[in-house]
Structure 1
Amino acid sequence: MLYFSRWKTIAIWLVVLGSIVIAMPNLFSKEQLEHLPRWFPSSHVTLGLDLQGGSHIMLKIERGDIVKERLEATVGDIRNALRNANIRYSGLTGTGQVVQLRVTDPAQVEAAKTALQSLTAPVSDGAFSSGSIQEATLEDAGNGLLKVTLSDAGIDYRVSSALTQSIEVVRRRVDELGNTEPLIQRQGKDRIIVQVPGLSDPQRLKALLNQTAKLTFRLVDTSMPASEAINGRPPATSEVLYSQDDPAVPYLVEKRVLVSGEELVDAQASFNQQTNEPVVTFRFDSRGAQRFAQATQQNVGRPFAIILDNQVISAPVIREPIVGGSGQISGNFSVEGANDLAVLLRAGALPATLTVVEERTVGPSLGADSIRAGISAGIIGALLVVALMIGLYGFFGVLAVVALVANIILIIAVLSLIGSTLTLPGIAGIVLTIGMAVDSNVLIYERIREEYKSGRSLLQSIETGFSKAMGTIVDANVTTLIAAFVLFFLGSGPVRGFSVTLAIGIITTVFTAFTLTRWLFAEWVRRRRPKVLPKGVRTGIFDGTNIPFMGLRRYTFGVSVALSLAALTGFGTVGMKLGIDFTGGSIVELRARQGNADIADIRQRLSGLNVGDVQVQGFGDPQSVLVRLQAQESGENGEQSAVAKVRSELEEQYEFRRTEVVGPSVSGELTKSATIGVLISLAAILVYIWVRFEWQFAVGAIIATLHDVILTLGLYVITGVEFDLSSIAAILTIVGYSLNDTVVVYDRMRENLRRFKKMPLDVLIDSSINQTLSRTILTSVTTLLALLALFLFGGEVIRSFTFAMLFGVVVGTFSSIYIAAPVLIAFRLRSSGKDEGDKTEAAQAKAGA
């Protein structure tokens, strides 16, 4: 097994060297890479918005707008169809998704139904699909009453089409801002995700995305004053609209559209040559130019309104016909306002309103701080793990460090190669991998030491150690990998970034353990021909231990049950402090521009903004504070309005380093997906362990895991630490780690069950736990060291995550011994009968035979 052919050796080192080359560009800036040869790789690891700053915005297309538009269009189509067929009717109205009318002459009902058949004709549901959708149904309710009902399938089709169109409009608008590499993608049936890295002004982006930008040119109705129309009844062909001024000015404008923004071909910001005020110049296509010229020729001397999203921008008087197909819009614009309007007009109008339902914005300074904190935590955690491994294993520890360095390079190379985004929780995933990666080496080394101690030669011990450890390592890591996959498919944003790095770390760990580490051993054996175990291995402190773990199982089990019940009681009565991911609301991290933050002053100033309950607390250093706003009753738009009020009040004195806004619709979905994620993860792991072991093992592993989850939830209840999406990631990682530890103990129990067929189960379990005690403690310590570095130096943003993980590692180690093992006795994995043969086998097991 320790023999490696030349081709295997070449393949292993090609992978390692290739990873170094692929990862190397991350040491250089983009400017430096431009001066390197073209053949040199240039792919960087893509930094998440929480590391480089920028905005993540989720937009939801308003289904109500689509329904309203379809209802108005259907009413218009019915009116035209019946008028063309000379059919008299009355009471044509539309409410909800139903339009109804009454045919005046009963003899014309059938003719009316024939005239309206085109409304119910099926339409194709896509260019590449042979399916069709019936958008409306026609019902004869008797007595000449006809009802046209818009189908849900038809509305869904229109929403999907509008979403596709909206993505293109959003893309054009974002591109006009000049930002590099924005990500714009569809999510679900009615959502669009927009991620713009390095954005310095997220408010401007939201303002551009929130506007439908439907531009129309309409005549002002001068038949009566606007104030009279407001107090009385305006003409049926006109409506009252208001200007963008403060205070707003009312205008009575005709409903008939002279020209629409759809006929614009260009719009640019410029300056009025006479007043030097910012204006927007526009140019129509040939059809629009013709219609605009005709309208201005026929209405010289009359005012006409330029209307954007039902607001009057300006209402100039037509002094002379405008026949050139171009003109300008003035409206007391600022330079930026004129630029933004030009952007909106060039990009085109949205088919429906887009509402911001989730926002996560990070300022560039906080992103830079997060990178420094993450790298510092990673280096400190790695150095602690390296010191521990070399201190305990000597030369073997050096080999583990070589494998660990290769492992980290492989992770960075894979992230660069697949273009995955590295987030702050992703850095936490790498640091956690550092702590857990040595677990494979510890398993192998302890197996080698165990086999050597039993009397085998060193060469046989190494071969047997690698062979026996392989199954254990695979089983232990697959459970964590399942949790990582569930996080990826059901998580979002930074949580997904964490799951990606964790999954990659698990795969590279298994690869380095059974290729690079084994090759290093083979090369050492080939060159040095060692006969004895190196003296630097100092992990024999647990050899010969015979701790009666199962003798204490009733007490420990009782204490665990009591703590779990207390945690569940607290969870049901007191409850957890849920973050905005699950309750909705907003979080704003502020940093004083000068001096320290004045928490009392901030609290007093925000209490008068009418945004509900406001919590203000210190966050890390004296200059920083965290502001929490409760979920607003007016929904998603209310959340954005609340944050805008806070920004307006505090922006002069404080830097807005981070803003997170979660609307009620998103928070409900996150709660549902998080619950489903935990349940799916547990179910998948249960199935895997059931297949690999026996059903008692699967039940024991799940009970132990539930114990860890319940106690971790109890920790959140007791400490009042906020429970958010990163907490779900922490719980699922704890699930993976706890099962990793449990599977290692179970694997040794399974091996001993085959070896000692008559040994009492409690004795066999004690023996198995004692035999794996070195590995259990060493893995827990290395993982705790890495997490402690994250907790102390990783920054405030992920402190609650690492706090839960620290607790979870301790509880997971405890449960793998005192919960998972006793369950096997309770479910009678084997009879506990005793005889002389049992005593002999027990003695052999204690002696390490």
Structure 2
Amino acid sequence: MPSFSQLGNDLYTGRRGLDVMRTRRTWYVVASLLVGLSVVLLLTKGLNAGIEFRGGSEFRVSNVTTTSQDPAEAAVRSVVPDGEPPRISTVGDNAVRVQTEQLSQQQTDAVAKALAEGYGVPAGSVTDSFVGPSWGKDVTTNALTGLGIFVVLAAVVLALYFRTWKMSVAALVALVHDVVITAGVYSLSGFEVTPATVIGFLTILGYSLYDTVVVFDKIRENTEHVLSSSSKTFAEAANLAVNQTLVRSINTSVVALLPVASILFIGALLLGAGTLRDISLALFVGIMAGTYSSVFLAPPLYVQMREREPDIARQRDKVLARRSGSAEPTTGSTAAVAAGVASDGGEATSGGTATAVLERPSTGRTPRPPSGGQRSQPRRPGGRRR
């Protein structure tokens, strides 16, 4: 079995590789299924918006001896029995966070006192804060505005850098793919969407865009003079570029995923750090989705759009016609005729066409007699031989 370095060398030279362009329908189906499932989750289950977006009151109880949610549930219900169900989560090993709808100052003081009594801690161990609905609305608007500005600037920069809008469109489709799938995972897991999550979203968009630009830059290099080539089509040159950058994409993704995975599984799930969990899940899912889209989605989509151009189509037809023609035998080859000549002076064939072997023309001279023989000479008058 070849080593990873040997595999990378084989992919770069083209001795082996994935035929991403020919199997692009398979990659399209996989991406469509993931995006479709994410959209269904977002429409049915929705996102668990954090208190920064929806507004409300938050209580944090520290130095508790138990992290059970029952005391928190009972404390909130004793003050606002008809309110929205509280959102209770554990922070570390000795703290509980309780989020409710926005309460009045009197209700806030009553809930804080009930939480201290329920968990058996001093009143100073309970802290409270609140976020108004207008502030939460502003945060939501600013987050969506930031995402929109990022997408527009990315599209303009890509179009100017690669001097074609088709690469820009393919890269934007990959970005939408990454964002929708990441949002779907948040909906499925029930993790809160906080400002830290928005930061994670912007980070994965930048990472995915960077990975896509690297692949596109190699595609541009390989296809720069493809119209004058008679050995490779545009799709084949682009496919070689994808394989040449495949190992780099895998290595970069693995190196990026290792610290993110440690933040997600150790810092968030074991230590209970909520902010780390919010941003690390977005990074973890987004990096994997971005690696997939930059290799299996954006390049095939770009090639498919370029193959509709008349020049690219004519060059492809020329290369394919040349290949089919070169497979046919060639007739009239002098070397083939000479190789096919029979030893008895028969006929030679080349490519299935019979070619007669012509005899050497006669010079009109009398053949020399065998060695040792004599020719009779006519006598001259006088009896002497001439």
**TM-score normalized with structure 1 length:** 0.33
Q: Kindly indicate whether residue 74 of structure 2 is the aligned counterpart of residue 604 of structure 1.
A: yes
State the distance in 1 between where 2:4 and 2:126 align.
48
CA contact (8 A) 1:576 1:720 kept: yes
Give the aligned partner of residue 826 of structure 1. 304
2:190 corresponds to which of 710, 715, 720: 720
Give the aligned partner of residue 543 of structure 1. 9
Indicate how the Cα distance of structure 1 residues 656 and 712 shifts in structure 2: closer, same or farther if over 3 A, else same: farther
Give the aligned partner of residue 173 of structure 2. 703
Aligned ranges 1:67-82 → 2 under 5 Å: none
Indicate how the Cα distance of structure 1 residues 645 and 764 shifts in structure 2: closer, same or farther if over 3 A, else same: farther
CA contact (8 A) 1:577 1:720 kept: yes
State the distance in 1 between where 2:38 and 2:50 align.
19
Give the aligned partner of residue 285 of structure 1. none
Q: CA deviation at 1:620?
A: 4.6
Letter in 1 for 2:175: T
Give the aligned partner of residue 249 of structure 1. none
Q: CA deviation at 1:778?
A: 0.7
Letter in 2 for 1:809: I
**1:153-204 deviations in Å (ceiling 9; x for gaps):** xxxxxxxxxxxxxxxxxxxxxxxxxxxxxxxxxxxxxxxxxxxxxxxxxxxx
Partner SS state of residue 627, structure 1: strand
Q: Kindly indicate whether residue 40 of structure 2 is the aligned counterpart of residue 569 of structure 1.
A: yes
1:682 corresponds to which of 151, 154, 162: 151
Indicate how the Cα distance of structure 1 residues 624 and 838 shifts in structure 2: closer, same or farther if over 3 A, else same: farther
CA contact (8 A) 2:72 2:88 kept: no
Indicate how the Cα distance of structure 1 residues 708 and 779 shifts in structure 2: closer, same or farther if over 3 A, else same: same
Indicate how the Cα distance of structure 1 residues 824 and 712 shifts in structure 2: closer, same or farther if over 3 A, else same: same
Q: CA deviation at 1:549?
A: 1.4
Q: CA deviation at 1:585?
A: 1.0
Indicate how the Cα distance of structure 1 residues 616 and 735 shifts in structure 2: closer, same or farther if over 3 A, else same: closer
Identity within the alignment, %: 27
**1:589-640 deviations in Å (ceiling 9; x for gaps):** 32234x22342122112211127224253415453222110235xxxxx3x5
Give the aligned partner of residue 52 of structure 2. 581
CA contact (8 A) 2:56 2:132 kept: yes
Aligned ranges 1:489-528 → 2 under 5 Å: none
Aligned ranges 1:94-243 → 2 under 5 Å: none
Structure number with greater Rg is 2
Indicate how the Cα distance of structure 1 residues 747 and 570 shifts in structure 2: closer, same or farther if over 3 A, else same: same
Q: CA deviation at 1:565?
A: 2.4
Give the aligned partner of residue 649 of structure 1. 114
CA contact (8 A) 2:62 2:96 kept: yes
**1:806-828 deviations in Å (ceiling 9; x for gaps):** 01100000000121112212322
Aligned ranges 1:364-763 → 2 under 5 Å: 539-545=5-11, 546-593=17-64, 595-610=65-80, 612-615=83-86, 617-632=88-103, 638=104, 640-651=105-116, 653-654=120-121, 656=125, 659-693=128-162, 694-757=164-227, 758=229, 759-763=232-236
**TM-score normalized with structure 2 length:** 0.70
State the distance in 1 between where 2:127 and 2:201 align.
25
**1:779-816 deviations in Å (ceiling 9; x for gaps):** 10110012112223434221121012101100000000
Letter in 2 for 1:559: V
Letter in 2 for 1:725: P
CA contact (8 A) 2:35 2:181 kept: yes
Partner SS state of residue 551, structure 1: coil
State the distance in 2 between where 1:646 and 1:592 align.
17
Give the aligned partner of residue 835 of structure 1. 318
State the distance in 1 between where 2:125 and 2:96 align.
10
CA contact (8 A) 1:599 1:616 kept: no
Partner SS state of residue 617, structure 1: strand
Give the aligned partner of residue 284 of structure 2. 806
Partner SS state of residue 794, structure 1: helix
Q: CA deviation at 1:700?
A: 0.6
Indicate how the Cα distance of structure 1 residues 631 and 735 shifts in structure 2: closer, same or farther if over 3 A, else same: same
Indicate how the Cα distance of structure 1 residues 554 and 603 shifts in structure 2: closer, same or farther if over 3 A, else same: same
Give the aligned partner of residue 774 of structure 1. 247
CA contact (8 A) 1:575 1:717 kept: yes
Query: CA-atom RMSD, angstroms?
Result: 2.5
Question: Structure 1 unaligned runs (5+)?
Answer: 1-536, 633-637, 841-849
Partner SS state of residue 625, structure 1: strand
CA contact (8 A) 1:539 1:774 kept: no
Specify which structure has the higher proportion of strand. Answer: 1
Q: CA deviation at 1:665?
A: 0.7
State the distance in 2 between where 1:771 and 1:729 align.
31
Q: CA deviation at 1:839?
A: 7.9
CA contact (8 A) 1:587 1:628 kept: yes
State the distance in 2 between where 1:723 and 1:827 align.
36
Letter in 1 for 2:8: F
**1:343-378 deviations in Å (ceiling 9; x for gaps):** xxxxxxxxxxxxxxxxxxxxxxxxxxxxxxxxxxxx
Q: CA deviation at 1:696?
A: 0.5
Q: CA deviation at 1:760?
A: 2.0
Q: CA deviation at 1:711?
A: 0.8
Indicate how the Cα distance of structure 1 residues 650 and 772 shifts in structure 2: closer, same or farther if over 3 A, else same: same
Letter in 2 for 1:680: I
Indicate how the Cα distance of structure 1 residues 659 and 742 shifts in structure 2: closer, same or farther if over 3 A, else same: farther
Give the aligned partner of residue 80 of structure 1. none
State the distance in 1 between where 2:246 and 2:179 align.
23
Indicate how the Cα distance of structure 1 residues 711 and 598 shifts in structure 2: closer, same or farther if over 3 A, else same: closer
Partner SS state of residue 835, structure 1: helix
CA contact (8 A) 1:678 1:732 kept: yes
State the distance in 1 between where 2:223 and 2:21 align.
16
CA contact (8 A) 2:219 2:241 kept: yes
CA contact (8 A) 1:576 1:716 kept: yes
Partner SS state of residue 539, structure 1: helix
State the distance in 1 between where 2:150 and 2:125 align.
37
Partner SS state of residue 628, structure 1: strand
Partner SS state of residue 62, structure 2: strand
Aligned length, in residue pairs: 297
Letter in 2 for 1:816: S
Indicate how the Cα distance of structure 1 residues 550 and 569 shifts in structure 2: closer, same or farther if over 3 A, else same: same
Partner SS state of residue 223, structure 2: helix
Q: CA deviation at 1:658?
A: 6.5
Partner SS state of residue 800, structure 1: helix
Q: CA deviation at 1:836?
A: 4.4
State the distance in 1 between where 2:126 and 2:234 align.
58
State the distance in 2 between where 1:731 and 1:625 align.
27
Indicate how the Cα distance of structure 1 residues 642 and 755 shifts in structure 2: closer, same or farther if over 3 A, else same: farther
Letter in 1 for 2:84: D
Indicate how the Cα distance of structure 1 residues 539 and 590 shifts in structure 2: closer, same or farther if over 3 A, else same: farther
1:765 corresponds to which of 230, 238, 249: 238
CA contact (8 A) 1:760 1:838 kept: no
State the distance in 1 between where 2:190 and 2:52 align.
16
State the distance in 1 between where 2:71 and 2:237 align.
65
Question: Structure 2 unaligned runs (5+)?
Answer: 12-16, 324-386
Indicate how the Cα distance of structure 1 residues 563 and 658 shifts in structure 2: closer, same or farther if over 3 A, else same: farther
